[in-house]
Structures are given as structure tokens and as C-alpha cells.
Amino acid sequence: MKVKKAVIPAAGLGTRMLPETKTLPKEMLPIVDKPAIQYVVEEAVNSGIEEILILTNRSKTVMDDYFDYHPELEAKLRAAGREDDANMIRKVADMAHFTFIRQKETLGLGHAVLCAKRFVGNEPFAVLLGDDIMKSDPPVTRQLIDAAEKYNCSAMGGRHVPLKEIGKYCTTRYESIPGEEKIFHLLEAIEKPRPEQVITDFAILGRYVFTPEIFEVLEHQTTGFNGEIQLTDAIDGLAKRSKVVAVDFEGRRFDTGSMTGYLETVLEYALESEKTGAWLKEYILKKAEEWK
């Protein structure tokens, strides 16, 4: 199985980040000097993905613009001798072959993935949520592609989360695979479980590799939690009819779609950045002195 296509759903309404997200997509919020979605695209590209579909909506056209050329700006930068900057902004548009389509109604993540059916065709594909940044080497999507290729089936990325927080994610039932520590056979998944529904602390989070069979499930998927077509419900349906593996991936996950998650991501990346790290450390230390 070769996975060369990825889908990045970025058409959500971002209601946890209002009023900011009224006009600016949360996926475009800066993490130091790059929008969040660029980190997601880079992960896909570094995992061997060549074609990327970004799902947007009518108020998110700024994402198409970002992954396009900007000849006027480039010319200005080159005229000013800023060749490196001109090359850098061109590279953003050349990282992969990009396609943009609109999810015409915000009916949920499962519906967003179903909108990718024509783009995907009859190939396996990766899904990377546009507001989740994963920091890891090898990239999380690569880890999932390796598992999907090894077992010739869909592979879901997940982590063990504190049980008291599992209600924010999904809970799963799985069984071990002999000789594997980090890859399991997935049997069941329940979105946003109520306490009495919790099965395990292992939640599927932000990264997936699917065979096209997921579309057969999604086409018949009824609405679930919050009245939305939930991807987790379709994963549950897929796991009940075919082999699906779950991968306890290596790496750190940043949820940029919540206020505190966004601030944590910015601080982590700003501390590591050559441009801002030393300054930020000094600033934090100064603040800590003031708070003593």
C-alpha cells in the first residue's frame, strides 16, 4: 500500500476561539512565524505525501491564498536583495500539489472527510486535522503509514489520556497484537463517552490513514454526538466490518484549537525558535521574578 494523498479538514467554525475565528481561520493563527496549518502540511510532506486536499469553507479563502504564489511580494523582496525570503515564500506553495474544496455545510468531521471522496478515488489516504500540530520524528503520519502498510489496513493514531479527560475525546476497545507494543487491533470507538460508556483510556487523536472503504461507511453514517456526522462513529463502523489498527504514536500533540492549547503551542515553538527563544526565556524569567 502506498499513501501519497492527504486530506486536511479545516472547515470547522472554531467556536472555542471566538471572536478571533469570526473571520480568521484558527488554522491560520501564527505559531511564531508560520500559520498552524503549515506545520500540518509539513508533517504530511515529510511523511511522503505528494497531493494534499485542504477542506475550507466560504469564510476561509485566505488558506488558498497562503498556499499560492505571490509574484508581487516576491518581486519586491528580490528587488530589495531579499532572495532568501522570496524563495521561502515561494517554497510554501511548492511543498506539495494542493487542491482546495469547500465543505458547503459544517456537518461534522465525518462529513468533511466524505467531501474528499472524489479527490481520493480508490487509494489509501491520510487525514490530518488542521488544528492539531504533532511534534515528532519520524512524523506521526509516517508512523501511521508504516503501520497501515505493514498490516494492509486503516491505521488510527491515538494516545493514552488521563481517564478524567477521556470524555473530551473518544474511548476505544482494542486487543494486543503479538510482538507489537505500540500497535493494536482496534475493535470499537465511542465519541465523547459518558462516564458509563468509557472502555479504556486510549483515544484516537488527530491523525488517521484510511483505505477508501471508509467512504462506504461514511455514506451511510447517521448523525451522532452534537448532531454532527462524527468520524469516530465511522471508524467504529469500519472496525466492526474490517481489520483496523490503532497506533500509540510517538510524539507530542498540540491542540491549537483551544485558547490554552494555542498559547502552549506558541510558547513551546517560540522558546525553540532562533528568532525568539533567547528573548522569550529572558522575558519569562523577568516575569517570574515579579511574581515572587
Question: Contact residues for ligand UTP (CB under 6 A)?
Answer: 9-16, 55, 103, 106-109, 111-112, 129-131, 257
**Of 129 and 190, which has the nearer Cβ to ligand UTP?**
129
Give 60's contacts (C-beta < 8 A, 6+ positions apart).
10, 11, 25, 27, 28
Cβ–Cβ < 8 Å for 38, 135: no
Tell me, what amino acid is at 10?
Answer: A
Query: Which ranges of the chain does DSSP label H, i.e. alpha helix?
Result: 36-46, 62-66, 71-79, 83-94, 109-114, 117-120, 140-151, 213-218, 231-241, 259-272, 277-291
**Of 61 and 106, which has the nearer Cβ to ligand UTP?**
106
> Shortest gap between Cβ of 112 and ligand UTP (angstroms)?
4
**Of 43 and 131, which has the nearer Cβ to ligand UTP?**
131
Angstrom distance (rounded) from CA 88 to CA 38: 13
Residue nearest to ligand UTP (CB): 12
**Of 184 and 193, which has the nearer Cβ to ligand UTP?**
193
> Shortest gap between Cβ of 106 and ligand UTP (angstroms)?
4
> Shortest gap between Cβ of 259 and ligand UTP (angstroms)?
10
> Shortest gap between Cβ of 85 and ligand UTP (angstroms)?
29
Determine the 3-state secondary structure of 114 from DSSP.
helix
**Of 116 and 153, which has the nearer Cβ to ligand UTP?**
116
> Shortest gap between Cβ of 151 and ligand UTP (angstroms)?
26
Torsion sign, CA atoms 224, 228, 234, 236: negative
**Of 89 and 107, which has the nearer Cβ to ligand UTP?**
107
For residue 41, CA distances in Å to 113, 191, 261, 264, 274 come to 17, 26, 19, 20, 22
What DSSP state is assigned to residue 230? -
> Shortest gap between Cβ of 210 and ligand UTP (angstroms)?
15
